[in-house]
């Protein structure tokens, strides 16, 4: 590892001295001096080379003089500092989706939102693959400035570890919820299957009907002297939900609160990385939150909550997003303070130059990968017996995914 570091420093010294035209040892930058510089300091020194400065002048001369429509909209929506913009983004992703619940009928079926879910998946994966991951490993390109990145294997490995930790965090949270609810289902967008299965079990227990019997069948009780028809059940709306359904609803609220904390972390880490990344992440999370909140709302209604109680519970869980945003802002500001403080140069975590704040963005990218794939794709893979209808539904879902991903691509396409 020591030989690799020395090789990098010598190569950088050669680049700086020869590209800048300073070939004499007294005018150039020695390898010993570069060995004492941090990675950001080395990258900043490279940007002062005449070749890079000439590229900057070329980019400034050829770049468009007017801002795009999306840039103008984002500048209006996010006019402040990274901390202020992160809080505004959290307000945008938490407020409108919850207020939309007032327009939802209490008996809405979450499975009817499959097209909206597909659109959200396209947006979420598009933001992760087109924006977050390139920003994590390469940084964001600026229109008027050429940028060179110093590749550090250990730095990339640590960023990859943070992505995996984010992914596995949601795996553990989802698995814990499934264990707590008896394996009936995790924290996803469609809760109807869980509730239906629980209602069938509780109904069968109350009537003595065989859960495995066909619909409308009869079961003999007390030696055949008493018959009960499963088709004669009372209205499900008039029955008290079982304790397992209520437990699933409360556990889902806890999981939703935790999920919103990661959304808040995504807001803070993305806006501190760049304004454009923060804006695109806000758009992706916003479209993801609509079917997510509607699915949770339907579960609460089916669990015995009134419409007002369900909306109130959703607003309480939305506070988790603001908590996550404030935590992320605190970590980022602490990292900036340590970087600007006097004293010995901080080599960062494991000598990579990374701080804890730099790991928030890859952590949230890992959570987005889980939500966009494992937590949602199985729902889109569910099919019914009607082949023609399922084929049309599948084509519509793929079109919605393409539109969602296309929006993410169009926002940042130069």
Q: 0.85 exceeded by the pTM?
A: no
Phi and psi, residue 375, nearest 5°: -80, -20
pLDDT, tens digit (0-9, with 9 covering 90-100), for 42-52 = 777 777 788 87
The Cα–Cα gap between 178 and 196 comes to 16
Report whether 271 contacts 89 (CB < 8 A).
Answer: yes
Handedness of CA 261, 263, 265, 268 (dihedral sign): negative
pLDDT at 98: 85
- Give the separation between CA 363 and CA 359, rounded to whole angstroms: 6
Rounded-to-integer distance, Cα 126 and Cα 241, Å: 39
d(CA 335, CA 344): 15
With CA atoms as reference, report the closest residue to 79 among 68, 88, 92, 67. 88
Own/partner contacts of 171-177, CB < 8 Å, gap of 24 or more, are: 171/370, 171/374, 173/255, 173/258, 173/259, 174/255, 174/370, 174/374, 174/375, 177/251, 177/252, 177/255
Q: Per-residue pLDDT for 211 more than 60?
A: no
- Does the structure show a pLDDT above 80 at 120? yes
Q: How many CB atoms lie within 10 A of CB 323?
A: 15
The ranges assigned to domains in the chain are: 2-62, 69-194+238-412
Choose among 262, 243, 113: nearest CA to 174. Answer: 262
Phi, psi of 218 (to 5 degrees): -120, 150
pLDDT at 288: 87
Query: pLDDT per residue over 135-156, tens digit each?
Result: 888 877 666 667 777 777 788 8
Longest dimension (CA), the chain: 107
Using only C-alpha atoms, the chain has a radius of gyration, in whole angstroms, of: 27
Indicate the range of 100-104, 128-132, 217-221, 335-339 predicted with least confidence: 217-221
Across the strands, what pairs with 221?
226
What is residue 340's predicted lDDT score, i.e. its pLDDT? 54
Contact 371, 169 (CB under 8 A): no
pLDDT at 71 over 50: yes
Q: What is the pLDDT, as a whole number, of residue 334? A: 84
pLDDT single digits (tens) 290-349: 888 888 888 888 888 888 888 999 999 999 999 999 999 998 888 766 555 544 445 677
Structure confidence at residue 4 (pLDDT): 44
Distance CA 27, CA 113 (A): 66
Selected residue with higher pLDDT from 186 and 159:
159
**CB neighbourhood size of 165 (10 A):** 14
More confident residue, 221 or 59: 59
Phi, psi of 95, rounded to the nearest 5 degrees: -75, -65
Residue count (the chain): 414
| Bridge partner list, 228 | 219
Highest mean pLDDT out of 6-15, 225-234, 258-267: 258-267
Percent with pLDDT over 70 in the chain: 69
CB burial class (10 A; 0-12, 13-18, 19+) of residue 180?
middle
Does residue 228 sit in helix, strand or coil?
A: strand
Selected residue with higher pLDDT from 247 and 26: 247
DSSP 111-123: GGGHHHHHHHHHH
Mean pLDDT of the chain: 75
Asked whether residue 378 carries a pLDDT value surpassing 70, the answer given is yes
**Strand, helix or coil at 209?**
coil
Residues 6+ apart with CB under 8 A from 207: 228, 230, 233
């Amino acid at each position: 590892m020591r030989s690799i570091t020395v090789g990098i420093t010598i190569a950088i010294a050669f680049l700086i001295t020869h590209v800048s035209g300073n070939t004499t040892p007294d005018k150039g930058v020695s390898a010993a001096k570069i060995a004492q510089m941090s990675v950001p300091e080395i990258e900043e020194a490279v940007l002062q080379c005449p070749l890079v400065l000439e590229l900057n002048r070329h980019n400034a001369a050829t770049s468009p003089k007017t801002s795009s429509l999306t840039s103008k909209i984002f500048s209006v929506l996010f006019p402040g500092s990274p901390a202020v913009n992160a809080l505004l983004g959290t307000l945008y992703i938490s407020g409108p989706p919850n207020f939309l619940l007032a327009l939802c009928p209490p008996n809405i079926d979450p499975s009817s939102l499959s097209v909206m879910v597909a659109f959200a998946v396209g947006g979420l994966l598009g933001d992760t693959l087109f924006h977050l991951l390139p920003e994590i490993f390469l940084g964001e390109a600026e229109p008027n400035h050429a940028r060179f990145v110093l590749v550090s294997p250990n730095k990339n490995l640590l960023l990859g570890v943070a992505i995996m930790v984010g992914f596995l965090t949601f795996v553990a949270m989802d698995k814990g919820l499934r264990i707590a609810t008896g394996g009936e289902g995790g924290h996803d967008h469609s809760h109807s299957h869980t509730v239906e299965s629980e209602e069938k079990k509780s109904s069968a227990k109350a009537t003595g009907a065989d859960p495995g019997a066909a619909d409308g069948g009869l079961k003999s009780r007390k030696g055949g002297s008493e018959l009960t028809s499963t088709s004669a059940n009372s209205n499900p709306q008039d029955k008290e939900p079982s304790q397992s359904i209520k437990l699933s609803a409360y556990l889902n609220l806890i999981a939703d609160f935790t999920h919103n904390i990661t959304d808040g972390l995504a807001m803070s880490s993305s806006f501190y990385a760049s304004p454009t990344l923060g804006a695109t992440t806000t758009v992706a999370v916003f479209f993801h939150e609509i079917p997510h909140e509607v699915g949770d709302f339907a579960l609460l209604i089916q669990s015995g909550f009134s419409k007002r109680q369900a909306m109130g519970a959703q607003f309480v869980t939305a506070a988790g997003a603001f908590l996550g945003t404030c935590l992320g802002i605190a970590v980022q500001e602490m990292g900036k303070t340590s970087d600007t403080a006097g004293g010995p140069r901080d080599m960062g975590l494991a000598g990579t130059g990374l701080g804890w704040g730099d790991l928030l963005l890859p952590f949230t990218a890992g959570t987005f990968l889980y939500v966009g794939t494992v937590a949602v794709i199985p729902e889109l893979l569910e099919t019914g017996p009607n082949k023609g209808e399922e084929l049309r539904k599948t084509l519509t879902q793929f079109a919605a995914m393409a539109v969602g991903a296309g929006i993410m691509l169009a926002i940042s396409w130069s």
